Structure 1
């Protein structure tokens, strides 16, 4: 079963890993930040070793996004991001796991303070 793990965040300034640029993450004790980073590295290694990690990519600053919309019978390019929101889409990971339970187990390791993680199955 394929799933996309989408990371939503709003670091200021924009940067990756997003947690390094979030006040909520920076406010944690150093040992806790180090453990969260180690947990994340560990889950990526585990996914890779099991062949479950198909890919992923961090995304650039939403301020540099462009939107293509249909307007007055023509396509029009406008500056992004799509919406004025607190969180923006920051990156994704594509995984192929045996079950939804495994996908949820993995996705739990991707979120940190100040971030939201969305787990969504890939359409066949």
Structure 2
């Protein structure tokens, strides 16, 4: 089953990896951050080797987005993100895991300093 790991963050300024641009991330000593980066690289290598990694993208700043919606009887577009919160969608990874438990185990490892991670399964029709 496929799952998407959505990473929400509020880096100031916007940038990736988000740990480098959040207050909580910048407060972590350089050697600890290097170790965290090494662990994350190992996680991605493991997921690639197992075939569980499908794809992922780091997203540009929310200010570069355009939102589309239906109002009345027509489509309307506006600049910027829909969410009116500090945290915005920063990127995502698509995983193909055999079980929900495995997807949850992996998703927990994507949560970094200053980020909120959401795990959502693919809708089956």
1:89 aligns with 2:89: yes
Question: 1:4 Cα deviation (Å)?
Answer: 0.5
Q: Equivalent residue for 2:23?
A: 23
- The alignment of Structure 1 onto Structure 2 pairs a total of residues equal to 124
Q: Report which stretch shifted further, 26-35 or 90-99.
A: 26-35
Q: TM-score, normalised by structure 1?
A: 0.94
Give the aligned partner of residue 122 of structure 1. 122
Is there any run of 5+ residues in structure 2 with no aligned partner, and where? none
Runs of 4+ in 1 over 2 A off after TM superposition: none
RMSD: 1.0
Per-residue deviation, residues 36-94 of structure 1 (Å, max 9, x unmatched): 11111111000000111011111111011111122232111111210220100011000
CA–CA distance in structure 1, aligned partners of residues 15 and 29 of structure 2: 21
Other-structure match for 2:73: 73
Deviation of 1:16 after TM superposition, in Å, equals 1.0
**Match of residue 111 from structure 1:** 111
Q: What is the rounded CA distance, in whole Å, between the counterparts of 2:91 and 2:106 in structure 1? A: 16
In structure 1, runs of 5+ residues without a counterpart are: none
